[in-house]
Amino acid sequence: MFQDLHVVDFHAHFPIKGDVSTSGVGVRQYAAGTPAAEQAAYMRAQAERYRAAWRLAWDFPEPDPEAAELSLETLADRWLAELDRYGIDRIGFATGGGNDILARAVKRHPDRFIGFAHHNPFAPGAAEEMRRAVTELKLRGLKILAPALERRIDDRGLYSLWEAVEALGVPVLIHFGMLGAGGGISWNERDNPGALEQVARDFPTIQFVVPHFGIQYVKELLFLCWACENVNVDTSGSNQWTRWMPYSLTVDDLIRKFYETVGAERILFGSDSSWFPRGFSIRYLQDQIRACRFMNLPDDALRKIFGGNAVRLFRLGGT
Ligand SMILES: [Zn+2]
Q: How far is the CA of 32 from the centre of ligand 1 (A)?
A: 30
Near ion ligand 1, which residues have CB within 5 Å?
272
- The model carries a pTM of 0.94
Bridge-based pairing of strands 172-175 and 113-115 is unpaired
Model confidence over 247-259: pLDDT tens digits?
999 999 999 999 9
Collapsed DSSP state (helix, strand, coil) of residue 12: strand
In angstroms, the CA 160 to CA 24 distance is: 27
Residue 301 has pLDDT above 90, yes or no: yes
CA of 203 to the centre of ligand 1 (A): 24
Burial (CB count <10 Å: 0-12, 13-18, 19+), residue 55:
middle
> What burial class does residue 160 get, using C-beta atoms within 10 Å of its C-beta: 0-12 exposed, 13-18 middle, 19+ buried?
middle
d(CA 200, CA 4): 34
d(CA 34, ligand 1 centre) in Å: 31
Centre of ligand 1 from the C-alpha of residue 125, in Å: 25
The CA 33 to ligand 1 mean position distance, Å, reads 32
- Cα(130) to ligand 1 centroid in Å equals 20
Tell how far the Cα of 142 is from the centroid of ligand 1, in angstroms: 13
Nearest of 103, 109, 124, 143 to residue 12 by alpha carbon: 143
How far apart are alpha carbons 273 and 271 in whole angstroms?
Answer: 5
DSSP state of 276: T
Q: What is the mean pLDDT of residues 52-79?
A: 94
**Contacts of 68 by beta carbon, 8 Å cutoff, 6+ apart:** 15, 17, 275
What is the model's pLDDT at position 21?
Answer: 43
The mean pLDDT value of the chain amounts to: 94
